[in-house]
Amino acid sequence: MKQTIGQQIKKARLKSGLTQTSLADQCHLNLRTIQRIESDSVQPRSYTINIINQALNTNFKLNISKEDDSQQLHKYRAIFRKRKTIRLITALTAIFLMIVVVVLAFPSWELFGMPKQIWAPFFYLIMFAHLIGIGITWRCPACNGLLGDVFNTRYCSKCGLSFYE
């Protein structure tokens, strides 16, 4: 009987003398992800298999058709484009808010008659929320790894996913 991809990964991991935790650390994946793959609870993505292949120095391949892989790639690229639009809108909104506050409040530090002590904490919370929004959306849709340059990334350095054709 042919072994599943999870069984093959477990066998290669044990042969390398690695624990699930050490493999997860090497791959920068969650321990639970490795556990689910090895127990065949989930079908791993091709990008995750590539990361595991590099860590174990193996060459596992998923039994998925080129069409399924192509559909998955298009899905990831669509998610990336959507997140890039969200990041751009969030950044422009943050810049606009900063300009508005500086223009309206700088001379007297009052905003609509309220002293700085009242409006400043809310302004800082809004700006912090914008930064969190940019950070949350700036992850690879395939491996959930943090990406580098916020507005000019072409591929994920962690899993190798190219975001443009």
Encode pLDDT of 47-67 as tens digits. Answer: 788 888 888 888 877 655 555
For residue 75, pLDDT over 70 is answered with yes
Task: Please give the full DSSP string across 36-71, using - where no structure is assigned.
Answer: HHHTTSS---HHHHHHHHHHHT--------HHHHHH
Domains of the chain with CATH codes: 5-56 (1.10.260.40), 66-137 (no CATH)
The torsion angles phi and psi of 85, rounded to 5 degrees, stand at -65, -45
Say how far apart CA 22 and CA 26 lie, in whole Å.
6
Distance CA 39, CA 32 (A): 10
Q: Could you read off the pLDDT of 102-120 as tens digits, one per residue?
A: 666 555 666 667 776 777 7
**Pair type for strands 114-115 and 110-111:** antiparallel
Number of continuous H segments (helices) and E segments (strands) in the chain: 6, 2
Residue 50, number of CB atoms within 10 A of its CB: 19
Contact 140, 158 (CB under 8 A): yes
124, 98 contact by CB (below 8 A): no
pTM (predicted TM-score): 0.51
CA dist 42 and 62 (Å) reads 12
Query: Does residue 64 or residue 73 have the better pLDDT?
Result: 73
What residue type is 49 in one-letter code? I
